[in-house]
């Protein structure tokens, strides 16, 4: 039995400790937005946040994140405090970023983490933060444009929008 805090919910899961976090999130917690792409941390489709840092969940044994705060694509809208979508998600719609869409959860998670760290990234900082995420439909130009407009949004209207979700108010859920 391992305990994880996923999207502000305490989860107790009966799973083998070497199981990658990806499959725990998807198949045990049924949070299907996080995707399997390569299994060796080469494509970024499985990106989630662990204590606010983007990681590749396909190579992260669940045992290594016990007790840590995990955020998936399903959990980021909360951080915008009241709006339905995170500003990055809205920017993705405004720029019509997604084509097949399979990589986009991972792209958005990398972008959110970038802007939390650095609300005003320049082109090379965006390149550095985002080049671990493959988009086979090749929407890199739109991803970059969306990150820039989300960055503007953050600065102009919602200075606190990128704050990490608070640890208070954690619900409990037993999947054991």
Partner 1 sequence: MGKWTRRAFIASGTLVGGGLLVGVGVGVAIRPGHRTPELAKIVESGDEVLVNAWVKILPDNSIKVIVPHSEMGQGVHTALPMMLADEMDADWSTVSMEQAPAHPEYATFHLARHVILPGKVPGIVEDTLTGVFLKASEIMSLQITGGSFSVRSTGQLGMRTAGAAAREMLINAAAEEWQVPASEIRAQNSYLHHDASKRSAPFANFAKLAASLKGPEQPTLKTPDQFKIMGQSVERLDIPPKVDGSAVFGTDIDLPGMKYAAVKAAPVFGSTVVSIDSAAAEKMKGVIKIVNLDTGVGVIADSYWQATKALQSVLVTYTESAANKLSTAGMFEQFGQDMDAAVANGKEQEDFVKGDARGTLAQSDNVVEAEYRVPFLAHATMEPMNCTAWVHDGQVELWAGLQNPLGTRDFIANKFGYETDKVTIHNVYLGGGFGRRTLPDYPQQGVQLANALPGVPVKMIWSREEDIQQDHYRQAVISRFKAGLDESGTPISWENQFIDKHDPVEAPYIPYAIDNQFIHYTSSPTHVPFGAWRSVDHSQHAFFTESFIDELAAVAGKDPYHYRRDLLAEEPRIRKVLDSAAKMAGWGKSMPAHWAQGIALQSSFNTIVAQVVDIDMSSGKPRVDKVFCAADAGFVISPDGFIAQMESGIVFGLTAALYGDITLKDGAIVESNFHNYKMVRMNNSPDIEVKIINSGEPMGGAGEPGTPPIAPAVTNAIFAATGKRIRELPTSKHDGSYSLS
Residue ranges that bind partner 1, judged by CB under 8 A: 15-16, 18-20, 23, 26-27, 30-40, 42-43, 45, 72-74, 77, 85, 89, 92-93, 96-105, 108, 126-128, 130-144
Shortest Å, Cβ 120 to partner 1 = 18
Q: What is the signed CA dihedral for 61, 35, 109, 49, rounded to 10 degrees?
A: -20
- Taking the complex as a whole, how short is the minimal distance between the CB of residue 129 and partner 1, in angstroms? 9
The least distance separating partner 1 from the CB of residue 16, rounded to whole angstroms, comes to: 7
Nearer to partner 1, 86 or 116 (CB): 86
Which CB sits closer to partner 1, 41 or 50? 41
**CB 17, min distance to partner 1, A:** 11
Measured from the CB atom, is 89 or 151 closer to partner 1?
Answer: 89
Residues in the chain: 176
**Which C-beta is closer to partner 1: that of 4 or that of 143?**
143
Q: Quick one: 95 or 116, whose CB is closer to partner 1?
A: 95
Place of tokens 């994140």: 65
Give the CA radius of gyration of the chain.
16
């Amino acid at each position: 039995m391992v305990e994880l805090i996923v999207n502000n919910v305490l989860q107790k899961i009966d799973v083998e400790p070497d199981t990658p976090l990806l499959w725990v999130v998807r198949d045990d917690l049924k949070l299907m937005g996080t995707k399997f792409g390569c299994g060796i941390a080469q494509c970024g489709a499985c990106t989630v946040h662990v204590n606010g840092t983007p990681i590749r969940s396909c190579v992260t044994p669940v045992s290594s994140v016990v007790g840590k705060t995990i955020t998936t694509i399903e959990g980021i809208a909360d951080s915008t405090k009241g709006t339905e979508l995170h500003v990055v998600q809205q920017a993705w719609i405004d720029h019509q970023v997604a084509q097949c869409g399979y990589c986009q959860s991972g792209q958005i998670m990398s972008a959110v983490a970038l802007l939390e760290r650095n609300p005003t990234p320049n082109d090379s900082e965006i390149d550095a933060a985002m080049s671990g995420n493959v988009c086979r439909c090749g929407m890199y130009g739109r991803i970059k444009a969306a990150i820039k407009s989300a960055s503007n949004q953050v600065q102009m209207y919602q200075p606190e929008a990128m704050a990490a979700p608070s640890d208070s108010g954690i619900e409990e859920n037993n999947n054991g």
